[in-house]
Structure 1
Amino acid sequence: MHVAECKFVGCHHKSCAELPLGLHHPLHPIHPLILFDGYTYYPEENENSKCKVCKESQIEYTYRCYRCDFNVHARCASLLPTFEAEFHNHPLTPFWKLIAFTCDLCGIKEDKGIPYLCNPCGLSIHSKCAYFPRRLEVVRHNHPLHITHSSLELHESDSRFCRLCVQKVDTRYGLYYCSKCDFVAHLNCAIDTENRADINFLELKDGENKDEELDQSFELAAAYKVKKIKEGDHGTEIATEIEHFSHEHDLKLTDEEVHNNEKCDGCVRVISPPFYSCAKCSFFLHKSCANLPMKKRNPLHQHPLTLRKNLTRCDACYQRCNGFFYDCDSCYFHLDVQCSLVLEILTHKGHKHQLILSYTSFEQSCSSCGAKRNLVFHCTSCEFALDFKCATLPQTTRYEQHEHLFTLSFAAEDDSS
């Protein structure tokens, strides 16, 4: 395991135990550097904790000069003559001088940096960029993405957008790419923990399906047992009475209209036929909500999600939900029914262009409510964006005892806003 991956407190890695307690380094030849546990010396990140090589202030093992406030991570201080990058065919040689250069992989200009050089190719990259994996998978795409840092013949488009953050991509530099689908992603977007799938490609053989059995059975597990059925049109079977996991009594299917502003106990929206209801108490379920699978995958999360019923807050729209939601067994992630059904590419009546799901490390403003979110549906043609709360608003709703339905409007009828 690489030094950067260890937990430093109580670490038992053989490589960490064999680190020299001091060394002379070409970046700081005038004084020796002493090994420190970064957590002890820098309990909080600050400017002095930044590494002179990678410019990051991650708290880990570090070599430090007392006199000059010079600091370099143990992983960045390696004096190996060459480095084998996973994505490149030739060894890379560190140039141990602080110089100005532009990284050929990420495109960032450095006033004072240490490039890793490939003599046969003329490649010049940051030390941290040398650790990008050759291929990876993101939760919002079905195929592995391969890194490219050369002039591959991509499908020509008027403009290229990262399919994860929906920001422009400079194809002169490195990116992650799926040639089957013409799917493009920024390097940092693809390796972000919010986007990256939890797969070790070094252990996965080419062509092997990582979850073949799970994929086949995932959406087949129903949330109810059928008690009674009838034959519908064209010989189809219709479940007229079911036992649903969310309710103690059996539910019967009906096509009748409801006039008491009753709501579905699954999606918590106005009930409309066809729906299942309980003859003993006021419990209603849209037929579509009753048919929701017990388990499913969603592009917003890297783990499988399980259908549950409880009071919680959705991590997409940030609204409290007392109906059905999907929950992750591995971590604290919750998704209500409406947000779980939204596609990555959204056609919305409030905007003339298609909107694409966008996750960014910086917050973006919703054009409807003004809330700032990392996760929005973004337009590639203009600056229009919608957060999940506004994107999933129902087209019609009722308000208290008002006799008529209210219809969602996208512009004020007068200057009252």
Structure 2
Amino acid sequence: MLISRKMSFICDFCGTAGEHSPYYCATFEDWMCRICYEEVDISYGHYRCPASRCHYIAHVCCATDKAIWDGTIMLEGYDERSEEVIGELMVASEIKHSYHDHNLRLTFSGKTKDDDSQCDGCTRPISTPFYSCKQCKFFLHKDYAELPKEMRHPFHKHLLTLPNSHNEDNISWCCACCRWYQGFSYRCYRDCSFRIDIHCMLFSDTLKHPCHEHLLFLVHNNEGTSCSACFKRLDSGAVAYRCMKRCDFNLDVGCATLPFTAWYKYDRHPLTLTYSYDSEPARLHCDLCEKKREPYHWFYYCADCDNSLHLNCAVGDLPYMKLGNKLEFYHPHPVTVVKNIWNCPPCKVCGELCNGQALKCKESECNFTVHWGCRWRLK
């Protein structure tokens, strides 16, 4: 049967990845549970999507697991999808967005006045099309102005909501990738207080990543496994992506969402996320912290300059922070997030110079600087 929609899959004939309209065998013995990815015998009870072209199916025990289902019974015909969106008409050349006080004007081509401008929704460098404010430095990619008010996500069992307002000076903790972030996020308003940044929110239950030849599937129970990128032990309750081809390959959400390129202040080229290294053991060091790198761990690398960096040394503790935003901190003056500081003063806590991200006082005559990792030790 031809499935006339875009979907990621691995062809069972040639073994290569596809992205659109596969032919699919829908005989009973080929049903696969979309939670545990084991075969479903439909001669027993099971849950299945009623949509005619959707082949989502799950074992009874998988679908009713407390990590997947919150116990809510949906009435027949009920559709919880919300038509409300943040912003006005999406094709309008000018909109009023609830996250900003001024009107925003749409730009389809050209650049901003500052090459280092960042989107206030995703905190990544701005690219067209985007909305911008003429009165202040507020930028928003068009896609993030069109986000729905409410969404379900396979990372969490409850409906998630995009808040009506946003304080750009606040930072939050993403429960999916376990990173601090600024920018847009969805949150659960039940007792669990689940919050997820917009980067993780746009991931689905399947992932095609260049690090691995097979399609990866989202799995909720990861007890006894480790991430194949950073080799950290996965918590039993954490979600992760797993290969179902008996490759023993797992990828936690933090590593799955790593940017493919990063910048190093002593290199004029972008560094590329690298998954293997065939050099001699003597070259296994980080050019930033000058400490040893593990041979099978992912790293960032510039082939032109032969620079290698640990993942955290390249992207830092705050990869999704808008540089220059002030933060509330234990200091009499406002502090801001800075990255790759040249000739910076030493950290107030550890006394070492900062090569990555830090908090720095905005007052020109104050040399207060503290590493992000040292902030909790400041009294």
Fold in common (TM above 0.5): yes
SS at structure 2 position matched to 1:224 = coil
Q: CA deviation at 1:176?
A: 3.4
8 Å contact 1:268–1:323 — kept in the other structure?
Answer: yes
Q: Deviations over 1:363-387 (max 9, x none)?
A: 5311111221431111101111111
Q: CA deviation at 1:173?
A: 11
Structure 2 residue 84 is matched with structure 1 residue 221: yes
Q: CA deviation at 1:337?
A: 0.6
Alpha-carbon distance between aligned partners in 1 of 2:223 and 2:43, rounded to the nearest angstrom: 22
The residue that corresponds to 1:191 in the other structure is: 64
Q: Please tell me the residue identity of whatever aligns with 2:208.
A: T
Higher mean alpha-carbon deviation, 399-408 vs 265-274, is at 399-408
SS at structure 1 position matched to 2:88 = strand
Partner of residue 156 from structure 1, selected from 16, 29, 42? 29
Alignment TM-score, normalising by the size of structure 1: 0.51
8 Å contact 1:266–1:285 — kept in the other structure?
Answer: yes
RMSD: 3.1
Alpha-carbon distance between aligned partners in 1 of 2:39 and 2:28, rounded to the nearest angstrom: 14
Q: Deviations over 1:168-205 (max 9, x none)?
A: 4696997735387665545543322110153337xx4x
Alpha-carbon distance between aligned partners in 2 of 1:364 and 1:406, rounded to the nearest angstrom: 29
Partner of residue 345 from structure 1, selected from 186, 203, 206? 206
Alpha-carbon distance between aligned partners in 1 of 2:100 and 2:135, rounded to the nearest angstrom: 11
Partner of residue 180 from structure 2, selected from 302, 307, 320? 320
8 Å contact 2:47–2:63 — kept in the other structure?
Answer: no
The residue that corresponds to 2:239 in the other structure is: 375
Alpha-carbon distance between aligned partners in 1 of 2:185 and 2:100, rounded to the nearest angstrom: 15
Q: CA deviation at 1:247?
A: 1.5
Could you say if the C-alpha distance between residues 405 and 242 of structure 1 is closer, same or farther in structure 2, counting changes exceeding 3 Å? farther
8 Å contact 2:116–2:125 — kept in the other structure?
Answer: yes
Alpha-carbon distance between aligned partners in 1 of 2:47 and 2:228, rounded to the nearest angstrom: 30
The residue that corresponds to 2:274 in the other structure is: 409
Q: Structure 1: where are the runs of 5+ without partners?
A: 1-152, 227-236
Structure 2 residue 83 is matched with structure 1 residue 248: no
Alpha-carbon distance between aligned partners in 2 of 1:174 and 1:188, rounded to the nearest angstrom: 12
Could you say if the C-alpha distance between residues 223 and 397 of structure 1 is closer, same or farther in structure 2, counting changes exceeding 3 Å? farther
Query: How many pairs align?
Result: 242
Q: Structure 2: where are the runs of 5+ without partners?
A: 1-25, 285-294, 296-379
Alignment of 1:4-403 (within 5 A): 155-157=28-30, 162-166=33-37, 168=38, 176-178=46-48, 183=56, 185-200=58-73, 204=75, 208-209=76-77, 211-212=78-79, 214-215=80-81, 218=82, 220-225=83-88, 238-254=91-107, 255-258=109-112, 260-308=115-163, 309=166, 310-331=170-191, 332-360=193-221, 362-371=223-232, 372-373=234-235, 374-381=238-245, 382-399=247-264, 403=268
8 Å contact 2:36–2:62 — kept in the other structure?
Answer: yes
SS at structure 2 position matched to 1:303 = strand
8 Å contact 1:317–1:339 — kept in the other structure?
Answer: yes
Alignment TM-score, normalising by the size of structure 2: 0.56
Alpha-carbon distance between aligned partners in 2 of 1:401 and 1:383, rounded to the nearest angstrom: 37
8 Å contact 1:375–1:387 — kept in the other structure?
Answer: yes
Could you say if the C-alpha distance between residues 389 and 357 of structure 1 is closer, same or farther in structure 2, counting changes exceeding 3 Å? same
Q: Please tell me the residue identity of whatever aligns with 1:328.
A: C
SS at structure 2 position matched to 1:393 = coil
Give identity over the alignment, percent.
36
Higher mean alpha-carbon deviation, 169-178 vs 337-346, is at 169-178
Could you say if the C-alpha distance between residues 222 and 162 of structure 1 is closer, same or farther in structure 2, counting changes exceeding 3 Å? closer
Higher mean alpha-carbon deviation, 304-313 vs 343-352, is at 304-313
8 Å contact 1:278–1:284 — kept in the other structure?
Answer: yes
Choose 1 or 2 for highest CA Rg.
1
Alpha-carbon distance between aligned partners in 2 of 1:413 and 1:275, rounded to the nearest angstrom: 41
Alpha-carbon distance between aligned partners in 1 of 2:150 and 2:40, rounded to the nearest angstrom: 38
8 Å contact 1:376–1:387 — kept in the other structure?
Answer: yes
Could you say if the C-alpha distance between residues 333 and 179 of structure 1 is closer, same or farther in structure 2, counting changes exceeding 3 Å? closer
8 Å contact 1:315–1:335 — kept in the other structure?
Answer: yes
Q: Please tell me the residue identity of whatever aligns with 2:34.
A: R
Q: CA deviation at 1:224?
A: 1.3
8 Å contact 1:198–1:302 — kept in the other structure?
Answer: no
SS at structure 2 position matched to 1:156 = helix
Could you say if the C-alpha distance between residues 396 and 274 of structure 1 is closer, same or farther in structure 2, counting changes exceeding 3 Å? farther
8 Å contact 1:256–1:274 — kept in the other structure?
Answer: no
Q: Deviations over 1:142-181 (max 9, x none)?
A: xxxxxxxxxxx97224xx8642234x46969977353876
8 Å contact 1:267–1:323 — kept in the other structure?
Answer: yes
Higher mean alpha-carbon deviation, 190-199 vs 310-319, is at 190-199
Alpha-carbon distance between aligned partners in 2 of 1:275 and 1:285, rounded to the nearest angstrom: 5
Q: Deviations over 1:7-27 (max 9, x none)?
A: xxxxxxxxxxxxxxxxxxxxx
